[in-house]
C-alpha cells in the first residue's frame, strides 16, 4: 500500500430508517434485524466490514433501535445456559456474532433527512480519516465480500470509491447513476453523478450500490445541508462536489446483488443463501421444485378454464 493512501478502519452504518417497504414486519422490529436464514441483516453487514479489515463501527440510529447494538453483545445469562447444556456449536455462534467492547459507537438521527444527512450525523465520530459506508439492506452474495473487493481497489487507487452495477435503464430513477470518463477492468473513472434521473437523462447504465469508501473531505459539502432529489440531503450531491477535487472511482464488484429491503429481494436472498447452505440445500431445492410444478400446473389449469369459458 502506498504511504499516501490512509487505511480505512471505520465504517458508518445508517440504520435509522423506518423500513416502510417491509411493513408490518418492521412496525416494531428494525428492518436490519430481519434475518436471512439465521443471520440478521445488520450482522451480515458487520461481517462484511470485518472481512474488509474494518475495526470500528458507527451506527447512525434513531429511537427504539438499541436492539441493533445488543445483537453484538455476548449475554452472560445466555452463555451460562449454553455452557450448562454443553451447546458447543451455539456457543461458538454467539461468540462469532459478538464484537469487542467499544467497537460500536452510535450517532443519533431522529429525523430522516436523507442518506447524506445520516452520514453527516457520524462526522464527529469519523474524524479526519477515510471511512466506509454500508447500507445493510443491500447485500452481495459472494465468497469475498463486496467491501473487501472494494478495499483492494482502494489500496491501489486511493481517493473515493463507490460500488457499482449495471441496471435496466427503466430503473435509473431509483438510483444514483455514474457519468463515466473511462473504464479499466472492474474499475471506472467517474466524472459525474446524477441522483435518480429519468431514463433518458441518465449518463450511463451504471448505478451506485450501497457501499462507499469516502475521504473525510465529504463532510465539507455535507455541512452545507443542501437539499436535492426528494427534498432530502443526498450523499450523491456531496460526492458530485468531491469529484472535482479528488480521485473518484466506481468499482464493478463480483457477486449477486440482492436488495433485502424489498419484499421480493428479501425472499430471493433467503432462497439464494439457503441453496448455499449444505445442511439444508437439498431439502430446500426439492421443496422449491415441488412448488414450481404445482405453480405451473395451476397456471395451465387456469389457462384451460379461461379458454373453456370463452
Q: What is the CATH number of the domain that holds 183?
A: 3.90.550.10
191 and 292 housed in the same domain: no
158 and 265 housed in the same domain: yes
Place of cell 405451473: 296
101 and 240 housed in the same domain: yes
Higher pLDDT, 183 or 249: 249
Domain that holds residue 238: 10-276
- 120 domain-assigned: yes
- Per-residue confidence at 307, pLDDT binned at 50, 70, 90? low
Number of separate domains in the chain: 2
The per-residue pLDDT for range 110-130, each reduced to its tens digit, is 888 899 999 999 999 999 999
Q: State residue 264 phi and psi, 5-degree precision.
A: -70, -35
215 and 76 housed in the same domain: yes
User: Can you name the residues that pair with 12 across neighbouring β-strands?
Assistant: 58, 133
150 and 20 housed in the same domain: yes
Beta strands in the chain (DSSP E): 10-14, 35-36, 39-40, 56-61, 104-108, 131-134, 138-141, 160-166, 176-184, 187-195, 206-214, 248-252, 256-259
- 2 domain-assigned: no
- 178 domain-assigned: yes
83 and 157 housed in the same domain: yes
CA angle, corner 291, sides to 286 and 292, nearest 5? 95
284 and 240 housed in the same domain: no
210 and 232 housed in the same domain: yes
300 and 151 housed in the same domain: no
The per-residue pLDDT for range 2-56, each reduced to its tens digit, is 458 899 999 999 999 878 888 888 888 899 999 999 999 999 999 999 999 999 9
- Per-residue confidence at 304, pLDDT binned at 50, 70, 90? low
What integer pLDDT is reported at residue 17 of this predicted model?
Answer: 83
In the structure grid, which three cell numbers stand for residue 133, read together?
459506508
158 and 145 housed in the same domain: yes
- 4 domain-assigned: no
- 141 domain-assigned: yes
- 114 domain-assigned: yes
- 212 domain-assigned: yes
Q: What is the mean pLDDT of residues 282-294?
A: 95
Other Cβ atoms within 10 Å of 207 Cβ, number:
22
Does residue 309 have a pLDDT over 60?
no
Does residue 303 have a pLDDT over 90?
no
CB 201 within 8 A of CB 181: no
The per-residue pLDDT for range 80-97, each reduced to its tens digit, is 899 999 999 999 999 988
In the structure grid, which three cell numbers stand for residue 190, read together?
467517474
- Per-residue confidence at 299, pLDDT binned at 50, 70, 90? confident
- 3 domain-assigned: no
68 and 104 housed in the same domain: yes
105 and 219 housed in the same domain: yes
Place of cell 447524506: 116
Amino acid at each position: 500500500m502506498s504511504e499516501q493512501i490512509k487505511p480505512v478502519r471505520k465504517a458508518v452504518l445508517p440504520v435509522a430508517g423506518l423500513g416502510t417497504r417491509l411493513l408490518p414486519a418492521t412496525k416494531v422490529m428494525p428492518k436490519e434485524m430481519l434475518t436471512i436464514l439465521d443471520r440478521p441483516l445488520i450482522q451480515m453487514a458487520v461481517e462484511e466490514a470485518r472481512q474488509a479489515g474494518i475495526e470500528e463501527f458507527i451506527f447512525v440510529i434513531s429511537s427504539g433501535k438499541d436492539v441493533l447494538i445488543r445483537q453484538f453483545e455476548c449475554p452472560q445469562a445466555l452463555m451460562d445456559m449454553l455452557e450448562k447444556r454443553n451447546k458447543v456449536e451455539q456457543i461458538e455462534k454467539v461468540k462469532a456474532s459478538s464484537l469487542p467492547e467499544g467497537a460500536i459507537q452510535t450517532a443519533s438521527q431522529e429525523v430522516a433527512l436523507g442518506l447524506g444527512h445520516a452520514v453527516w450525523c457520524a462526522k464527529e465520530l469519523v474524524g479526519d480519516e477515510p471511512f466506509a459506508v454500508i447500507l445493510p439492506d443491500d447485500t452481495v452474495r459472494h465468497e469475498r465480500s463486496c467491501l473487501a473487493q472494494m478495499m483492494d481497489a482502494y489500496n491501489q487507487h486511493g481517493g473515493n470509491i463507490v460500488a457499482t452495477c449495471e441496471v435496466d435503464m427503466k430503473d435509473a430513477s431509483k438510483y444514483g447513476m455514474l457519468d463515466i470518463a473511462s473504464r479499466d477492468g472492474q474499475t471506472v473513472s467517474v466524472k459525474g453523478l446524477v441522483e435518480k434521473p429519468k431514463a433518458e437523462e441518465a449518463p450511463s447504465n451504471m448505478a451506485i450500490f450501497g457501499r462507499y469508501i469516502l475521504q473525510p473531505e465529504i463532510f465539507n459539502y455535507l455541512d452545507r445541508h443542501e437539499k436535492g432529489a426528494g427534498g432530502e440531503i443526498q450523499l450523491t450531491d456531496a460526492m458530485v462536489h468531491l469529484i472535482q477535487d479528488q480521485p473518484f472511482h466506481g468499482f464493478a464488484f463480483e457477486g449477486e446483488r440482492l436488495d433485502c429491503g424489498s419484499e421480493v429481494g428479501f425472499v430471493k436472498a433467503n432462497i439464494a443463501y439457503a441453496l448455499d447452505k449444505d445442511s439444508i440445500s437439498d431439502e430446500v431445492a426439492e421443496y422449491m421444485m415441488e412448488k414450481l410444478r404445482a405453480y405451473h400446473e395451476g397456471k395451465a389449469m387456469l389457462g384451460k378454464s379461461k379458454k373453456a369459458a370463452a
